[in-house]
Amino acid sequence: MFIVKKYWVPVFNEERSLRIYLPEGYHESKKSYPVLYMHDGQNVFEDRDAVGGRSLRMEDYLKKNHVPLIIVGIDSGANRMEEYRLWAPGKLSEELTGKSVSQEAKGREYLDFIVKDLKPLIDATYRTQITSSYMAGISLGGLLTVYALCRYPNVFTRGVGISSAFFRNQEKLEEFILEMDCIPIARLYLDCGDKESGDERIDRAFLNSNERIYEMLEKIGASVEFKVMKNGEHHYESFSNRIDEVMSFLLRES
């Protein structure tokens, strides 16, 4: 069972819920555990809390498979687009979706908060393997995750980006990756559906965007796997069906 705690997030200027899952037997053992930080925390564990009524159903997966992992889900807010975007919307974003009303981008500050404030708190409060911190996200959460693994490779060693909305910041993210000689990412899973939106033009651009980032990361030495999900769509019914495969890849020993 996960517990819910409120925590002040300065970059958002408000409290957010943290949904913290402690593995089976945590309180009876003295073991330390890796930690997976997940965006859109309200959509991680149970349907009753999820936006739209469907979650990843991660709690079911964890209990069924007795996974020795701590998960910290960080709730997103009403202004998710601004909170998770790393930079103002770029040209590709405007071409695909029209101009965004807001130019706000708080994603980099949000990640700084996780690294400098939240992670030290979690490490001090729970028995964690401090050097085994991972990150996972969906859509814009995937964008955040890839940037975090690139910017903080000594903090987050493994990651997951499901149907990542790289196109929102495609140009700036590519510039950022190109500036790097090498990225020592130990393990990164990326995927993209071939029917993300139901609009063929957007579906094709979404997939091309993901393929481009995958190829760039692989070229500079990241250990990354990319999968095209046949009939994969951009909603949690589709996302949750991938959890067994995604988590098996993330957590396997070699």
pLDDT in tens, 41-58: 999 999 999 999 999 999
Residue ranges per domain, the chain?
2-251
**pTM of the predicted model as reported, rounded to 2 decimal places:** 0.97
pLDDT in tens, 104-128: 999 999 999 999 999 999 999 999 9
Q: Report whether pLDDT(226) > 70.
A: yes
Question: What is the enclosing helix (H) or strand (E) of 38?
Answer: strand 33-39
DSSP character at residue 219: H
What residues pair up with 134 in beta bridges, in sequence order?
36, 158
- Looking up tokens 């589709």 gives 238
Fold of 2-251: Rossmann fold (3.40.50)
- pLDDT for position 100: 64
Mean per-residue pLDDT of the chain: 95
For residue 155, the number of C-alpha atoms closer than 13 Å in the C-beta half-sphere is 21
Q: How far apart are CA 222 and CA 216, in angstroms?
A: 9
